[in-house]
Structures are given as C-alpha cells and as structure tokens.
Structure 1
Amino acid sequence: MSTAPAPAPVDPNKAIRIARFFSYPKQVLYLLASFIALISICHFISLGYYFLTRHRRRAVPNGPPDGQKIYWSRLPAAAIDTLRAISFRYTIPLGANYTFNFAELGLTVGYIGVLFTWTFVNTTNLQGMRVDPKYFANRAGTIAASQIPIMAALGMRNNLVSWLTGVSFDKLNYLHRLSARIICILGWIHGGGRVTVGLLTDETPNHAWVRCGALAVSTLTLLCIFTVRPVRARSYEVFLAVHLVGALIFMLGILFHLTGRTLTYYGAWPAFVVWGVDRGLRLIQLALYNPPSALFSAFSPRAAADSASTTNAEDNANATITRLSPHFLRIAVPRRRALHWSAGQSAFLSFPTLGGSPFASHPFTIATIDDDKSNIDTESLIFILRIRSGTTKRLAHFASTSGATLPVLLNGPTSAPPHLARADAAVLLAGGSGVAFTLPLLLDAISRATVGAPTCARILFVWAVRDLDHIQWIAPLLAPALARVPPTLALSLQFHITGDAADLTDDPADTPSGASELSLSDGDAEKALPTPTSGSDSGADPEKEPADSELEKGTARALLASPNVRVLRGRPDVARILGEALRADGTSHVSVNVCGTHALAESVRRALRTPRASAILHGAPTVALHVEAFGDAVSLLSIIRPLHFPSLCAGADFLVSHAQ
C-alpha cells in the first residue's frame, strides 16, 4: 500500500508577511488621511469663526503697550505667533538652490519617517534574522504604490487636498516632488529586495509585467534627476515636455506591473482617476473662461484676426501685450463674466501660437480685482511680469510695438492669497513686478472699505522701483481708487525710487539701504514722467507709442499729487517700516505681505523672526507673514495656514514661487 506524499513544509513566516503586506500600506494611508483631516477641520473651523465674527472688532489695548500690564487673554496668540516665527522665518540653506525652513524640514522628515518606518518595522523573522528582505521587499512595493495617487493629487491644480485644507496646489507642489522621490527610493528597495530573496518562476525578467515594473522605476528615477530645480529653471518648457512623457511612461508601467499581481487598485487606477478629474475640470474652466472662438483663434491666424476685430470683450480671444520697459511687460486679457477671482490670485496663461510647447501654460498674478462697482476697468485682466527666459522672453520679442495682440487661453484662478479683513493693519511690500500681487490686495481693501464691508483699518503700501515713471504702470488702476478712499481707512503709500534708467539690470532690493524723501512739485513730476517722443525705456519705437500715453501720464501726476503718497529715494528700510507698523496704537493683528526677490523676502523674515511672546502679552500685535516670491529657489509649505483663528490673531506664513 502506497503512502501519500508528505505535504511541503509551511513557512511559518509567510502568513505574517502576507498580513503585514496588506495591512501596513493601509495604516500609512490612514495616518496620512488623519493628518489631512486634522488640518481640514482646523480650516473649516477657522472659516466658520471668521464668518460669524466678521463684523466684530477685536478688543485691543488703547494706546501703545505700556510694558507693565500683562494681558493673559493673549497667551494663545503669543504662543501661536512664537510658533510661526520659529517655524517659518528661520531658513536653512541646502546647497546653492534650495532653502528649507523649520516647518518644511519637520514635515519632510515626518513624511519620510512614516513611510520608511512602516517599510522596515517588524522585519525580524521568527528565526531571529533582523531586516529580513522577505518581510520588507514586497511591503516596500505596496507602500510605494499606495502613495502614487497622493503624489498625483498633490501635483494637480484641482485636487481634494487643496479643497479640504485651503492650501493652494502651488504650495502643495513641493510635497508632490517629495513624494515622487520617496516612491522612487521605495521602488528600488522593492526591486533590490526581490532580487536578494530570489525570483520565482513567474517573476523573471522574461515576463512583461516584471519588465514594466523595471521600466516604471527607471523612468521615475530619470524624472527625479532631470526635474530638479536648476534644470527646471534653465528651460521650463523642456521640463514640461520631459515631465509629461516621463509621467505617462511611469503610470502605464506601474499599471501593467500591478496587473501582474492583481493589485491595480493600490495605485494605478486611483492615480488615473485623479488625473482625469483634474483634466476634466481644466477643460470646463477653459470652456467657461474663454470665448467659444478661443480654441480656434489659438491655432488659426485667420480666426485670431477675426477675434481681435470684435468690439465685444466676451468674444475677444486675444491678449494685448505691451512692453513697459526693457525688463517688464503688461498683458491685458479680455475677461468673461463667468470668471471671478479673489484679490491676489493667479491665472495660467497659454500662448499656443507664440512658439515652444502649444500646451504649456504659466502662472501670473492678476493685478486687477473682481469688482464691478468700482471705477476700475473690469473688462480686462491685467498682468505685470518681468522679462526672463522662455515664454516671457518670446513675449517681449513679439511685443516690439505697443498694443501687439496674441491669441491666449486662460485657466484658473489659482492660489490662496491672504484675507486682509482678518487683520487690523496691513503692510504691503513689493519690488518691481511684485506690485502685481500687492496692488490688488490694496484695491480690494479700498473697495471693501468703500461699501462698508469688513476690512483692515490701516494699510501701508510700499513699492520699490528703479524709475519714477514706472508708477505709470499702476496709475490707471490706483488713482481712481485713491479718489474714493473713505475716512475709515487710514492709507499711506510709499514709492521708493532705487535707481536710474542707466542701471536697470539689478533688482531694486539690491540697492543701498536707506531712503530720503523727494519733494516733487508739479513741474518735477512732469519732468520725471517721460513723454511719447522723449524716448522712454520701453524699448518701443516712439512713433508707435500708445495713443493713451498722455492719459496715463496725467493719471500718474494725479497719483503723485495725492496726500496719501510719498516718494522717497533709496531702498526701503524694511526693519524700520515693520517696527513702526507693530508699534501703532489700537492694533491687535498685523498682516505683512511681500512679493519680490529672495533678498527682499529674507529682509522681511529677518525683521520678523525674533519671537515676541512677551511683547504680545503686554499688548503688542501679532503678525502673519505672507511671502509671494518670484524667481526663488524656495517653496515654503503653508500647510499650517488652516490654523488661522482670528480670535487668537493667528495666521501662517506663506511662500509661493511664480514665474513672474
């Protein structure tokens, strides 16, 4: 009588490995979801509190702080202000191209720590072998796959994380890059671990799903290498093309690789859904915010000419490009009534017929406000930008004559600018084209004060420019607003003239510090503002100067004659300006908003980084800092933004990187 063959020995570790293989990626997702939920709850509580108390004025001490009495009710505000100062205003340089603050560093270390802890924890087998590859190899792959939808969402303009937390997509983009690099490392750990353990019969490279996995991780590795900051800064259009092709190859490779083990639900299909939702919403925005002829005019010169000839802004798909100086441009885009935005938001502009990638779009700050009741022209969206390389350089070349028109597609709005209504006072600092961000904040505050809506009671607007005639850029928008400033709003404007026409290559923030006031009579202002035939620095032919040049010049003269305006020579003394703002009477919370170069942003952070808990307890105001930096190597996470409770005079510091 034959005996049955003995059953193969069962590896007692296998059941444990499989259980952790499925449970640990879920635990990581639960932890990340809990963190997002916490931020979201704080965000909605903040919004609700602001809505309920928007018409109240916070009780503040009368007069300047006496240095004796302690207001213990301001202890939470002092604690949060100190946390902001330490977390956001101290920066750590990393090489020549990157800078981290403590908050960003902590979030980076925390995210990396969670993923690698769950990858390597409990990897000692029953025989006592530590860090057994059989335990972590497959687990690293599933944890990496579980992060792919999150990575995709963080890189999308329309994503659930932004909607829930109130943090705009551009501030989340750093996490998108961080997640991609961690997934890349985990992918190599997964592959190396499997090779170390030994490949099964159906896991050899002659199987397509295995080769697709190797292709995916190799492609992601190349993307991580060739999309670093220096490469992106050198040629943004090339970066976009490489990113698009590489991301598609990576996603398809992951899809087929996970299909080999019936695990597509871990990362492939959810990521494609996230991508599809974002692209669908973009198409809807394109249809709503661009005239029906826009897509045709963007690719057809004849259709573009027909669109440009229309007198109805709703049907005009062409932008007007004006060269303001050798280094600055103004773009006017016809506005459709369906488009609404908040002051300080950005929009993506695409110029398909300009050259380069026809589908590449770039973010620029909208310098106008969405206010039909004001005297400001709301038929167009105005953008003021500095000429750099790539698209802006091609735009400057195209706009060799004033009034040149070009087909444009608009998408947006995006970003999450600060709400000045949450503060008692605001300081708006800008250098060069950074005025495109601070100007709409000022115009919106004036508009709200005019109709009695909640807004701050005191505003200091500071703009550093090379030449006095640059004031003409904003005069048509600002002069009508100044004419209707109500007495309830204390407004002061300072224009700092930092150079002359012969020295325009440097940034205003790089000039020697210190400022002396200029006393301009009407005759002085007349001489300072160029005439159409005197040859301004616009780089355009004087014979082709715009017909309304004299009108802009007159508006600028009226602006300079306003009692709210001071013109000073030299770079603004940031420390002195902010010190005076923080010593103002009856101020509980100050909103400081900056847009300029890295040097300007750093000078503001230096002035505000010292913790002020004792001063706040004695009645000094708290400070919320928002830095909108262009051409910067830093991308500060504003993940703490939802923790803004007006009752505590709280707020968060921000930094956005735009292609201005």
Structure 2
Amino acid sequence: MSQYTFGLNPFVVVPAAGTYNNVPQVPVIVPSPARFGALPFVWHIDVLLCVLFGIFVLSTLPRAVARYTAHGELFAGLYLRRGKPTNGARGAAIATVPAAGHAMPKTPVPEAAMMMHDGATVDDEGTMRLDAADAGLNEPAMPASSTTASHAALLNYAVVDSDNGARQAVNPPAHISSYLALTHPVISYVANFPVAAGLPFKHFAVLLIYFGILLYVGVRGTSPFTDPRRPVDVAISQLPFVLAFSQKNNVLAVLSGLGYEKLNYLHRFVGRIIVLGVNLHTSYYLYRWSLDGTIYAQSRTSFVVWGIIGTAAVDVLFLLSTAYVRARAYGLFLASHIFLSGLFVVAMYIHEPVTLPYFVTAFVLYGADHIFRAMRTRIVTVDLTAAPLLNGGSTIVSAPSLTTGWRAGQHVRMRIIPARGPRWLAVSWTWFAARFRARPFTISTRPGSSRGLELIVKKEGRSTQALFARATKDCPGSDGDPEKQCTGACVKATVLLEGPYSGPGHALPQAFSGALLLAGGSGITHALALLDALAEAHANGRSSCRVVDLVWATPDIASCVPLLPRFRELLAPRPSPHGSFMVRVSIHYTRVSSGAMKALNPAELPAGLVLHAGRPYVRTVLADACRATAAAHPGVRPRGLVVSTCGPAQISEQAHAAVGSIAWDHWREVGGIEIVSETFGM
C-alpha cells in the first residue's frame, strides 16, 4: 500500500493486479484515515473569518451599549409576552397649548387633495386612473407647494404642567451615529449603490474580501488544475458558515443587531463557493479517469459513487435555489433545500468520513437555532377581521393577549392551526411545519399598545387567500363595499406566532432628531408601528425626535379607508410635558375608485393627513424632512435624521438615491442621515 498526497489531505491508492470478469483492474482510490483539516491551513482560514466577523461585531459595540442601556430596551425584541398596556402622559393635570410660533391646528378640508390630475381618465368600472406621467411612472408627481411651511396639516403641540406652567425635562436615550452618517452623502450613496438586484456596493465589497480570502487559500502553493483536493477542502470548511448565515438566530445577526435576512446574501454566496469547490474536485477526477480509460472501474467503488451522489445533490440544489424558482415555486425550493442538503451531507460523510467535525459543527448550529425558535414560539387565539379595500384585500389579525416583547418595526412568522381534527394533532403538525415554512408579517402596533399585537396580512398566495376567505365568511363588506366594512372582529382562530425578528437593530428611532417613514403598499404596517412608538416615547419624555413625516404610496386610495380610524388615533394630540411634536402623514395614490370617493369625506379627514395624486418625489420629501427637523431644534446639536423604508426594493433604492443627492448643508443641519430598510421578497 502506498500513500500519495494531493493538496492538504492524503489519500491511499490500493493497487490490484490482474483481471476480474474480463475487466482490467486498476488502482482505486479509498479515503485516507488522516484527519480532514489536520493541516492548519484550511482550519486557520476559518479562524481568520471568525476573527473578522468578531471585529465587525466590536465595531457595533458603541451602538449596542446605547441601545441596551436605553429605557425598556434590554429585553425588548426577544420574545412575545403578556403585560399591561402602557399609555403616555401620566401624572399631573396637563394642559395642551400651541408651541411657540404655531397656532393650534384645526381639522382641514383638503378638497383639492381629492382631485385627480388633468390627465386622469375614468374606466368602465367607475375607477379614475392616472396616465404614466401623472402617476409618477416617468417623473414622480409632487405638489408644487410641498415645503416645510406649506403643509396643510401640521401637528405641533407643546404641553406644560398646569400647576407651574413649566415644561418637564426630556430624558432621551443616547444617540450614536452610524459610520456612514458621520461621513458625506456621496459616500453613503456609493456604499448603498445597487451593483446588482438586492446587492448594494457595501455588500459587494464584503463578498470581494470574502472571495479573496478563499481564493488565496485555494491557490496558495498549488493549483486547482493539478491539485483536486484543495478546492473541496475549502468548500467543506465553509459548511458551518453557510448554515449559520441561513439561521433565524445566528450569532452574527444577534450580536451585530442585523436582521437575519440582512445576512442572506452571505448564505447564497458561500453556498455557491461550496458548489464551485465540489465541482472542481469532481470534474478533475472524471476528466483524468476519462483520459486514462479507468472511469468505469473507478465508478464501481462506493467511495466514488457517494462522491458523485454528493456532487449531483449540490448541483441540483443550486439550480433549484435560483431567484426564478424561489419566486414561482417556493415550496419546491424549500423541499429541495431540505432534502438535498441532507443528502449532500450524508454522501460527503460516506465519501470522506474524516469530514465529520465540520458536519457536527453545522448540525449543532442548526439544532441550536431550532431550539431558540421553539422557545420564541407562542400559541395564541387571534381575532380575524376582513378589510377588502386595504391593499386589494387584507386580513387584520389581532392578538390582544400579547402586549409586549417586540420592538416597533419587527416581524413575526405566523402559521394558522387547522380547526378540524384532534387539537393535539393539529398543533403538533403546525408546530413541525412552522419550523420550515411560516410566512413573515410585520407587526403594525407598538409594544404596550392597548390593541395588543396586530398584523395586516395582504391577500397574496394560497395561505393568505384562505385566511382572508375565513375572515370574510361571517363579515359584512366582503364584496368590497366601503360602506359595509367590518368594524370589529368577526372570526377567531388559533395561530402559531414565532418571533419577533429583525427590526431597526441597534438604531433607536427615538434617539434621532427627526424621522421620515417611507412605506409602499402593505409596508404601511412598519410605518404605523414606528409612528405609534415615537409618539408614545415622546409623550413619556424618552425621545428627542420632534418631527415625523410618514409618506405612504398605495396604488388605490381605497386602501386608506380601513386605516382612517388608526390614522385619527395616531394623529390625535397626545398630552406631553416634553415640548412640541410634529407629525405629517401624506398618502400618495395613482387611482381612485368611486366607492372610495364616497367613503373619503374630505371634511372628516384627521388633521395632519394630506392626500396627493401621483407617486411621491422622494428627494423633495427628504429635503422637506431635513428642513423641518433643523427648524424644530434651533440652537441644539442635531442628532440626525432616520429614514425608515418598508415595501418593494424600489422604495429603498429611491431613498438611498435621495440621500446621495441631498445637499451637504442639509446633511450637516440634521447631523447626518441614516437609512433603516425592510424590503419585500424571498
């Protein structure tokens, strides 16, 4: 028996002379008992990657300290729990007076807001539509009078203690700016410039560094054309990383404050590196054996057979993980991901048993993630209310028993427990299924709200359509008539709620000087929760944010009809002894149905809400928010402007482009601009 070394890890070639069944016998390859990764080269690269990730976590430490030392933030966002609703403005009798320089606003009658552009047309169904230009598809529409001083509705209340007339002190959390907010808008624009769909330049730079490190390991002192072992060594060493980056509770996301979905680009990249390394390894041997004429003899050994099975599994896994398959057959993508990943691991272990430490590490991380997910899961009874006009049909899911445990902007993963069959079986099956597939939905209420936890589920896909049908079964208004909208819960259901996840991370919106909330379509849930949380923090004296602009772009103005009570509640004056608080809500639409025209009485719109025909011009909106924020903090060092976006990817891209084009004077006046984005998609 002789031993040969290819690359890092030796394997053994066993000679066999003579013939068998008239087939010439050739040397065959069997795995060597040497430990995989015993040589320190590949193992050291994993250590280096962990060190680099640790440096990144340390760079976020100042913001993490500021976040966790803020009031109520230490255990916020960990798990859903019951508690007493919180209300602002407790204590002494309080009188509401206008802030200096502002008159007490009255309810406006924005009749012009209900008017369409001159280019509007009416179709056969009585729905008025805008042409491309008026809808903002070519050049976004924005009212010419859109300036800080010209908004028709502006809430700006200052509240004093009625006993002594003195304003109480504000105790906002500490504010630590992000590194990009400390630079220049051009640098921020370059860092967030989309190199490819869903891939900003800053992420692309991370991938370049990652690839450079792995490439160095792959070619240092060797070549993939002469050493078939090195590529697969590198690939197998990345298995713990590719699994860690896909987890909901991965260590890097928890420590750095990033949402798990923000690291998904690393999961996809490392997965492709594994596919590349495995295929280079397999292709080399198949090519060499083809030249030698020994491919048939080699393929008869179980060692080689399992290697080919593992390669085939990872190749099919790659093909079924493309964006096309994910978007059109997510169930196929998910099932193939689970089955083929398991097959690849089994095949690689049989092919090379000494790879066991890497597989064990990966499975420990995988098991820990599912344990934490189970600990963050709640079984609750919810109320279902149909809202046929909201985003083309939505279901409002309310869990009044859960009142705290999340942060504004976070989401939960929900799965309905079937009502039929034995309850223990239904709960067990749903619990198991939710570990692999549960839909994420953003929470639309703040923690401590009297509404409890509330979700707005858009009717899109089979599961959400079934949920909407269940909610409309006993509710009036299922035909879409706005005059018959449900006013209360109609149906009860039992669901599994897992989370909360993601959110603003280490950023504290209440620690900024101003906030701009951009929402597209069903992304309004994210903005509603943040606005409610900012208003509550201000009422309790724990916020430095004095200006909040909410801009919602929706295809049909009918979507705002079910949310009018919510807007009235959010725009109502909140007594506070902590200075003025300005709120502006702008709803932009591209069509108006006749039913919505009847339901939207301009005289009944709440103060602070303005309707605009056409899409918002984000650059103008951002400039207005900067001016309003600077004016609200005269003579005070600004703490920055936070721009929160939720909706399609275009919303986030437009926000980043607007930040890059902002004037340097505006940037300095507000103390920098930071963007917190949540995008739709898989």
How many equivalent residue pairs?
A: 512
Give the match for residue 33 of structure 1: 50
How far is 1:527 from its partner?
A: 3.6
Of 626, 629, 637, the residue aligned with 1:582 is 626
How far is 1:8 from its partner?
A: 8.2
Contact 1:235–1:390 (CA under 8 A) maintained in structure 2? no
Give the match for residue 122 of structure 1: 221
Secondary structure of 1:500 counterpart: strand
Contact 1:320–1:405 (CA under 8 A) maintained in structure 2? no
Contact 1:430–1:596 (CA under 8 A) maintained in structure 2? yes
Distance 1:602 1:193 in 2: 43
TM alignment of 1:152-551, pairs within 5 A: 152-195=243-286, 204-259=298-353, 262-265=354-357, 267-286=358-377, 289-291=378-380, 316=381, 322-325=387-390, 327-334=392-399, 336-337=401-402, 340-353=405-418, 358-359=433-434, 360-372=437-449, 376-378=450-452, 381-401=453-473, 402=475, 403-417=490-504, 418-485=507-574, 486=576, 487-501=579-593, 527-529=598-600
How far is 1:351 from its partner?
A: 2.7
Contact 2:417–2:494 (CA under 8 A) maintained in structure 1? yes
Which consecutive unaligned segments of at least 5 residues does structure 2 have?
12-33, 73-176, 421-428, 476-489
Equivalent position amino acid for 2:651 in 1: L
Secondary structure of 1:344 counterpart: coil
Contact 1:350–1:410 (CA under 8 A) maintained in structure 2? yes
Q: What percent of counterpart residues are identical?
A: 23
Contact 2:60–2:256 (CA under 8 A) maintained in structure 1? yes
Equivalent position amino acid for 1:623 in 2: I
Distance 1:153 1:15 in 2: 26
Secondary structure of 2:195 counterpart: strand
Contact 1:29–1:146 (CA under 8 A) maintained in structure 2? yes
Equivalent position amino acid for 1:223 in 2: L
How far is 1:350 from its partner?
A: 1.3
Give the match for residue 654 of structure 1: none
Residue 107 (1) aligns with residue 206 (2) = yes
Calculate the TM-score normalised by the size of structure 1.
0.69
Is the alpha carbon distance of 1:14 and 1:275 closer, same or farther for their aligned partners in structure 2, counting shifts above 3 Å? Answer: closer
Distance 1:29 1:470 in 2: 50
How far is 1:269 from its partner?
A: 0.8
Contact 1:425–1:458 (CA under 8 A) maintained in structure 2? yes
Calculate the TM-score normalised by the size of structure 2.
0.67
Which consecutive unaligned segments of at least 5 residues does structure 1 have?
1-6, 56-72, 124-130, 292-315, 504-524, 531-555, 632-656
Contact 2:522–2:647 (CA under 8 A) maintained in structure 1? yes
How far is 1:191 from its partner?
A: 2.2
Secondary structure of 2:661 counterpart: coil
Is the alpha carbon distance of 1:118 and 1:321 closer, same or farther for their aligned partners in structure 2, counting shifts above 3 Å? Answer: farther
Residue 86 (1) aligns with residue 190 (2) = yes
Is the alpha carbon distance of 1:164 and 1:150 closer, same or farther for their aligned partners in structure 2, counting shifts above 3 Å? Answer: same
Contact 1:430–1:463 (CA under 8 A) maintained in structure 2? yes
Secondary structure of 1:408 counterpart: strand
Deviations 1:149-170 (A, max 9, x none): 1111111111112112211111
Of 627, 645, 659, the residue aligned with 2:677 is 627
Distance 1:209 1:12 in 2: 17
Distance 1:196 1:10 in 2: 19
Deviations 1:311-338 (A, max 9, x none): xxxxx26755554457231231425548
Deviations 1:243-291 (A, max 9, x none): 22222222222333331xx2311x21111111111112222222xx215
Is the alpha carbon distance of 1:614 and 1:10 closer, same or farther for their aligned partners in structure 2, counting shifts above 3 Å? Answer: same
Secondary structure of 1:290 counterpart: strand
Distance 2:404 2:301 in 1: 51
Of 587, 601, 606, the residue aligned with 1:561 is 606
Is the alpha carbon distance of 1:221 and 1:241 closer, same or farther for their aligned partners in structure 2, counting shifts above 3 Å? Answer: same
Secondary structure of 2:352 counterpart: helix
Is the alpha carbon distance of 1:209 and 1:81 closer, same or farther for their aligned partners in structure 2, counting shifts above 3 Å? Answer: farther
Compare 241-250 and 460-469 and name the one that shifted more: 460-469
Equivalent position amino acid for 1:284 in 2: M
Contact 2:509–2:534 (CA under 8 A) maintained in structure 1? yes
Give the match for residue 302 of structure 1: none
Distance 1:13 1:178 in 2: 24
Residue 23 (1) aligns with residue 37 (2) = no
Contact 2:588–2:615 (CA under 8 A) maintained in structure 1? yes
Distance 2:4 2:373 in 1: 54
Contact 1:351–1:408 (CA under 8 A) maintained in structure 2? yes
Contact 2:411–2:500 (CA under 8 A) maintained in structure 1? yes
How far is 1:566 from its partner?
A: 2.5
Contact 1:423–1:590 (CA under 8 A) maintained in structure 2? yes
Give the match for residue 646 of structure 2: 595
How far is 1:178 from its partner?
A: 1.4
Aligned-CA RMSD value = 3.8
Is the alpha carbon distance of 1:498 and 1:11 closer, same or farther for their aligned partners in structure 2, counting shifts above 3 Å? Answer: closer
Give the match for residue 637 of structure 1: none
Is the alpha carbon distance of 1:240 and 1:193 closer, same or farther for their aligned partners in structure 2, counting shifts above 3 Å? Answer: same
Give the match for residue 533 of structure 1: none
Is the alpha carbon distance of 1:609 and 1:390 closer, same or farther for their aligned partners in structure 2, counting shifts above 3 Å? Answer: farther
Give the match for residue 607 of structure 1: 658
Compare 184-193 and 463-472 and name the one that shifted more: 463-472
Deviations 1:611-655 (A, max 9, x none): 7557646x4641112232224xxxxxxxxxxxxxxxxxxxxxxxx
Distance 2:229 2:183 in 1: 44
Secondary structure of 1:173 counterpart: helix
Equivalent position amino acid for 2:463 in 1: T
Distance 1:122 1:255 in 2: 27
How far is 1:483 from its partner?
A: 2.7
Secondary structure of 1:110 counterpart: helix
Give the match for residue 487 of structure 2: none
Compare 453-462 and 596-605 and name the one that shifted more: 596-605
Give the match for residue 485 of structure 2: none
Equivalent position amino acid for 1:364 in 2: F
Give the match for residue 113 of structure 2: none
Equivalent position amino acid for 1:383 in 2: L
